Amino acid sequence: MFAGEGKSLIKQHCASCHMLEKPEPEQIPTLKAPAFDAVLFHLKDAIRDKAAQKAFIIDYVQHPSASKSVCESNKVAKFGVMPPLKGKVTPQELGHIADCLIEIYPHPAFVRMIKEILRNNAMRAL
């Protein structure tokens, strides 16, 4: 599979809701779904095994539910549960999409930004 194939499937099926670029801190409150940087940051934190990460994405897109969510609980509270895309995207296409997401996200610049935000919050609490 070419990485380009996964990317164009992501643009076609996911990008109307999930931001593909690194969000700036001031954009985060205005998004209608968590940016993929944030989704994959949480997913990789919660699930270490790559095959299990891939299986999670393939399943979640077809059968999303609050009880499965690995993003912090405020994501579902803030955005509502993701609408299921079952029937709109095939499991095979989802396999390409998942490989591509796991390869690309989170961007190193996003991880640096999150660490900076966490550090600032910790400083403020002192």
CB 94 to ligand HEC: min, Å? 6
Paired tokens of 52: 């299990």
**Taking CB under 6 A as the rule, does residue 22 contact ligand HEC?**
no
Per CB under 6 A, 72 contacts ligand HEC? no
Among 37, 41, 53, 76, binds ligand HEC (CB under 6 A): 76
Interatomic CA distance for residues 65 and 84, integer angstroms = 9
User: Which alpha helices (DSSP H) does the chain contain, by range?
Assistant: 3-13, 36-46, 50-62, 73-79, 91-104, 108-125
Beta bridge partners of 89: 86
What single-letter amino acid sits at 122?
A
The residue from 7, 22, 54, 75 that contacts ligand HEC (CB under 6 A) is: 75
Interface residue list for ligand HEC (CB under 6 A): 13-14, 16-18, 33-34, 39, 57, 60-61, 64, 69-71, 75-76, 79-83, 85, 89, 97
